Structures are given as C-alpha cells and as structure tokens.
Amino acid sequence: MSVMSVVCEGVINNFPVLIIKHEKMGHLCGYIAVPEGHPCYRKHYDQEPALSLSVHGGLTYSEGHPPMKEGDKQWWWLGFDCAHSGDLVPGYYFRNSEDVYRDETYVMEQLREMSVQLAPEEFMRLVHKEKK
C-alpha cells in the first residue's frame, strides 16, 4: 500500500499543481512545478529565491519530480505540507482543540497564491522587495 495518494492534479496559471494526501497521517500536501529557466528552477526550498515564497508553513519540498511520480527535466517541483503546529493532523496522537484541518479547498487556494507569486513579473517584485 502506498503511503500517499493523489487527491487532485491540474494546472493553475500555467503551472502544474498536485495535491497529495498522506494516508497514514491524513494531512494534505500541495505541490507546484516551475519550468526550466524560472529563477526557482533547481533551487532548494530553503535557498533564495524559493525561500521568498509565502505559503502555509513555508516550503518543505523541492525536487525534479513530485512525490509518487516520474521526473521530467522540464519542471522543478516545490511543495508544502499541512502538518504544522495549529494544523489538525488526523493520524497524530496529540491534538489541540484549536487545530484546524487544512482541506483540499485550502490547499488549492495556497497553490493559487503560489502561482501568482511565481508568475515572472510578480516573482521579480517579490525578490526585489525582500532584498531591500
């Protein structure tokens, strides 16, 4: 049995996106791909310029392929998970009554916001703003 399953995949603003559910823990993860030539292409999630992106919990993934899928040298995948403090993770033993389950709608909205941030003109504004 796979540890993860695909919940949704598609394209937002010309960026491939993917939502995966961690089967054992029950939380969702969101992934978006940037093409070769983009400033984030082949950048680790904790390096600039990828570090400048604002997403739930921060980026936690950067690879040449999304989880569970074959790689494609034209794309570099960036991702985040919804298993942070304040997130309700169904498979986690310790829960806080204030924790919130981040559902598919929430993850998709985060991916939409990332797609706007990753658009060439917006991305350059974001990076230059961070450097000031």
Domain count, the chain: 1
* CA-based R_g, the chain, Å: 15
CB neighbours of residue 71 within 10 Å: 12
What pLDDT sits at residue 1? 45
What pLDDT sits at residue 132? 46
- What's this model's pTM, rounded to 2 decimal places? 0.85
Q: 21 forms bridges with which residues in the sheet? A: 5, 28
Rounded CA-CA distance 15/112 in Å is 10
Domain of residue 41: give its range.
4-131
pLDDT tens-digit profile of 52-65? Answer: 888 898 899 998 88
110 near 43, Cβ under 8 Å? no
Q: Is the dihedral of CA 112, 118, 120, 122 positive or negative?
A: positive
Strands (E) located in the chain: 4-12, 15-22, 28-35, 61-63, 75-81
